[in-house]
Chain A
Amino acid sequence: MKAMTMTQKILAAHAGLESVAAGQLILAKTDMVLGNDITSPVAINEYKKINVKSVFDKDKIALVMDHFAPNKDIQAAQQCKLCRTFSDDNQISNFYDTGDMGVEHALLPEKGLVTSGDIVVGADSHTCTYGALGAFSTGVGSTDMACAMATGKAWFKVPSAICFNLKGKLNSYVSGKDVILHIIGMIGVSGALYKSMEFKGPGLKNLTIDDRLCMANMAIEAGAKNGIFEVDDITKTYLHSVGAKEPVVYKADKNAQYDETYDIDLSTIQSTVAFPHLPENARTFDNIPEIKIDQVVIGSCTNGRLSDLIIAAKIMKGRKVAKRVRTIIIPATQKIYLEAMELGLLKIFIDSGCAVSTPTCGPCLGGHMGILAKGERAVATTNRNFVGRMGHPESEVYLASPEVAAASAILGRIAQPLDVIKKGE
């Protein structure tokens, strides 16, 4: 039998095959099918054209109203209503709307809806996030979502893989976002096109689940089909804590073929910022001039988790955001929002002059809750900085970690955490 990568093993198991090889086209069973308020309406319209009486499994579909929710306008309200009606008609177990929703890729892991070894397809490109938990998860389109809701299956071309062998430990105020921006800067926005990015090595034990979720989340920004982390005790402890199904652990064969292998020493990673208008335009602070900013956004499926808010609050505590810098904090889920409140983080943010929002994707995709005017610049912990991504086509988004975003908010320019915090803090 041919040696397989971790991704290939999961695909083979779900296709009922003993082994698969890169390039092979397969039909695989899905453990979870996801959609949001933008992609699900298209999927629902397509689903209605399929000759089935019911969805394949009402417990294996998740619809999350997060992009333009709370409904930003009448049309967005209509789209959410269509999803709500569909969920009611089909008794979808995992329908999340304003009040219990969160940004989908922060919400599903937190609800224990994904476990190691699962196949998850989502009509959202950042579905690759769950690779952090050792699942094969990938973004698909609305028609794929419709067919997966009807049949519980999706077609895939088996990917080859790039291996990222991690060692060492991150420095203070450096996090998963810096690692993934560094990697995308290194391999480019199509550097992993059609491929898996597999993360392994002794450095894994020094990466938290939040670091991993952030890194897997941005695998798509290198063009990857999926990003996936080898499962370890950190993964298992996390899955247990959220009440996920028992993990099924797949490990790449020792002699698995990789197109490329990169060794990355985490201790060498520095605070990294991706300049407009591509995530590959990564720069470290030895190469960043003084750039004044108008807005900071801390949130999203990339960096709206509790640890992101904790570190941002640590940097902002007792300090005020710079004049004329609109700073918007968006806890990614209701649970994170509540925990941030209980930890006193929201008070720190509000005392600093930030606005704190209910969970939403909002400004990340230029939807609402913080749109940029012509010529404005934002530092955001989000995942894309394409032309017009957060508003006017002539505005600019600089992607960064929550550490850099918080420091930038305080200083009113793109800044590194050490520009703000005192030594030893």
Chain B
Amino acid sequence: MSVRGKVIKYGNNVDTDVIIPARYLNTTDKQQLASHCMEDIDNTFVKRVQKGDIMVAGKNFGCGSSREHAPIAIKESGISLVIAKDFARIFYRNSINIGLPIIECAEASEQINEGDEVEADFEKGIIINHTQNREYRIEPFPEFIRKIINAGGLIEAVNKGMLND
């Protein structure tokens, strides 16, 4: 699987309260959630995000609340991949569980700029920055997590009996 898109970039410690403010958590409707994505730190996001765009951020992305609404809102807004230096742990597992592709890569997180054209190929394990002509290696996920991703998320993995002892 590979994805390609334009980069929307944020800083360190992007928390789930700014990804989707709690005042909008009175619904589980994915499109409604997406319509408020990033609102409190970037009210232009919803207007400018295009299907396939890639979100790049610094350290501790998705810190704070356990709300799965956060990766849901990002995924539903059309973002195809989030690259960060590292992720807060609940956001990390939520993304894997719901099938939002994420990559931890410190170098890419630092060097990629807003607006760059970036591609990621998960099979080959590389991120290509077409704007800057740079490549980065992706650390492969452990096998257990790959199984969940390949199943299409945790629910499907459970239904396929993958989580049985």
The complex places the Cα of A47 from the Cα of B23 at a distance, in Å, of 25
Q: Are A155 and B163 in contact (CB under 8 A)?
A: yes
Q: How large is the interface on B (under 10, 10 to 19, 20 to 34, 35 or more residues)?
A: 35 or more
Binary flags per residue of B86-99, CB closer than 8 Å to A gives 1, else 0:
10111001100110
Instruction: Please tell me which one of the listed residues B28, B68, B144, B165 contacts residue A25 in the complex, with CB atoms under 8 A apart.
Output: B144
Are B66 and A124 in contact, CB atoms less than 8 angstroms apart? yes
B37 at the interface (CB under 8 A from A): no
Kindly state whether residue A84 has any CB partner on chain B within 8 Å: no
A150 to B9, CA, bound (A): 38
CB-defined contacts of A367 to chain B, threshold 8 Å: 22-23
Contact of B26 among A16, A76, A124, A146 (CB under 8 A): A76
Q: How far is the CA of A141 from the CA of B64 in the complex (A)?
A: 12
Q: Which residues of B contact A366 (CB under 8 A)?
A: 17, 21-23
**CB-contact partner of B66 in A75, A141, A147, under 8 A:** A141
Q: Tell me the B2-47 residues at the A interface (CB within 8 Å).
A: 13, 15, 17-18, 21-23, 25-28, 40-41
Interface residues of A in 37-91 (CB under 8 A from B): 38-39, 41-42, 45-46, 49-51, 67-68, 72-73, 75-76, 79
Shortest distance in angstroms between A353's beta carbon and chain B's nearest beta carbon? 27
Interface pick from B49-57, B108-116, B123-131, B152-160: B152-160
Binding stretch for chain B, among A5-13, A293-301, A380-388, A409-417: A380-388
Known: A76-B26, A386-B17, A393-B40. A144 touches B93 (CB 8 A): yes
Contact among A41, A50, A67, A147 with B28 in the assembled complex (CB-CB below 8 Å): A41
Does chain B have a CB within 8 A of A278?
A: yes
The 8 closest A-B pairs by CB, nearest first: A141-B94, A75-B26, A190-B60, A143-B97, A365-B22, A141-B68, A25-B144, A388-B40
Chain B positions within 8 Å of A, measured between CB atoms, are 13, 15, 17-18, 21-23, 25-28, 40-41, 59-60, 63-69, 71-72, 86, 88-90, 93-94, 97-98, 142, 144-145, 148, 153-155, 158-159, 163, 165
17 contacts between A and B (CB under 8 A): A27-B163, A27-B165, A39-B66, A42-B69, A42-B72, A143-B94, A143-B97, A144-B97, A144-B154, A147-B154, A155-B163, A190-B59, A365-B17, A365-B65, A366-B17, A384-B15, A386-B15
* Residues in A lying within 8 Å of B, measured CB to CB: 16, 25, 27, 38-39, 41-42, 45-46, 49-51, 67-68, 72-73, 75-76, 79, 122-125, 127, 139-144, 146-147, 150-151, 153, 155, 189-190, 193-194, 220, 223, 225, 278, 365-367, 384, 386-389, 393
